[in-house]
Amino acid sequence: LETIFSEAIEHVVELTTDPFGNYLCQKLLDHCGPAQRSQVVQRVAPHLLSISLNIHGTRAAQKLVEKLGPGEGASEEDTLAVSEALSEGVIQLIQDLNGNHVAQRCLQKLEPRYNQFIYDAVADRCVQVASHRHGCCVFQRCIDFASPKQMHLIVMKVVDTTVQLVQDPFGNYVVQYVLEQVPAYRPNIVGQMAMSILELSRQKFSSNVVEKCLQLATPEGQAMMVTQLSQKDQMLQLLQDPYANYVIQRALQVASSPQLEMLFDAIRPHVPLLRNTSYGRRIQNRIAKRCPGGLEQWQTAEEAVAMIVAQGGEAPPMPGGLEGMSADMAQMQLGGISRHVPPKPP
């Protein structure tokens, strides 16, 4: 090993990007000791970014990062050298076909403090990274391996840009991933979505996120979203839209009283038109499951609300009247409000 290493170290930079030499570099990193690994780091670090972007070099770069993780006996000096080398072009690294795998390996193998440069870049360029084909994958790995402080940093950036991200073919997956993996921040995203739910329900990518929100939101969040969807002057357009009709189907599935009655009241005038389209027939099937006797036999929203009030409950907001509530939900965070919100006038 010593003989091979002494010959290879002189040409290690060229070998890392060679179609065959990169395999030698990986094997050397697997078997060499800490002192020899430090020599590799010293030689490679000034060129590590370009190596990471290379189709062959990315494999050697990933192996090097792997050998700097906890339990590998790596020095802090070596780990910092690699982190600093990659930080010089971190956005390019994240968005590159080959380089993004090196960024993901850093997140998987290095301690969070050595990955802070990735989190800072992702937070600073949230939309640019999340709406990129490869960047969205790195963003999801950031969520997987973040410390609590790092998690809050990037997730609140997602919250702040939710409406923009959900309309993007890649960004919408980042928002959905946050909804699935970070439940504490669901109310924030649900609040953002609820404020623009009618528009977002009619778009290809964002309609999928609206459905996800309806599926995962708290009962309060579901009630707010269904109430916003139940605006009578908008319902026909939603029912006939190729994307929004799926949102209405999901709303029919999750809604509880009295929001279910609000939804039924908005749909009821358009029932004859539902028979004419495949979308409409699917909605009819949803209605039949929730209301076996037919809509005409079901109580109205006013009757459902009156029953709640008669039992000592508080009357819920009606469709179109939730802007303030959804804005408050969007501002929430663990422990308070995510940023300064001026008090409402009396």
What's residue 292's pLDDT?
Answer: 86
Question: Stretch 245-252: mean pLDDT, rounded?
Answer: 97
C-beta of residue 14 within 8 angstroms of C-beta of residue 56: no
Cβ-proximal residues to 162 (8 Å cutoff; 6+ apart), any chain: 175, 189, 192, 193, 330
Phi, psi of 306 (to 5 degrees): -60, -35
CA separation for the pair 84, 60 (Å, rounded): 18
Question: Stretch 210-230: mean pLDDT, rounded?
Answer: 96
Quickly state the pLDDT bin for 336 (edges 50, 70, 90).
Answer: very low
Phi, psi of 259 (to 5 degrees): -65, -30
Phi, psi of 332 (to 5 degrees): -70, 155
What's residue 328's pLDDT?
Answer: 57
C-beta of residue 82 within 8 angstroms of C-beta of residue 41: yes
Chain-wide mean pLDDT for the chain?
91
Question: Stretch 216-233: mean pLDDT, rounded?
Answer: 95
Quickly state the pLDDT bin for 344 (edges 50, 70, 90).
Answer: very low
Query: Residue 332 pairs with which residues in a beta bridge?
Result: 337
The answer on pLDDT for 27 being more than 70 is yes
Percentage of the chain exceeding pLDDT 70: 92
Q: What is the pTM of this model?
A: 0.89
| Tokens found for residue 231 | 């605006």
The answer on pLDDT for 345 being more than 80 is no
Phi, psi of 187 (to 5 degrees): -55, -35
- Give tens-digit pLDDT for 113-171: 999 999 999 999 999 999 999 999 999 999 999 999 999 999 999 999 999 999 999 99
C-beta of residue 102 within 8 angstroms of C-beta of residue 86: yes
- Give tens-digit pLDDT for 255-310: 999 999 999 999 999 988 888 888 888 999 999 999 888 888 788 888 888 888 88
- Give tens-digit pLDDT for 45-71: 999 999 999 999 999 999 999 999 999
What's residue 96's pLDDT?
Answer: 98
C-beta of residue 238 within 8 angstroms of C-beta of residue 244: yes
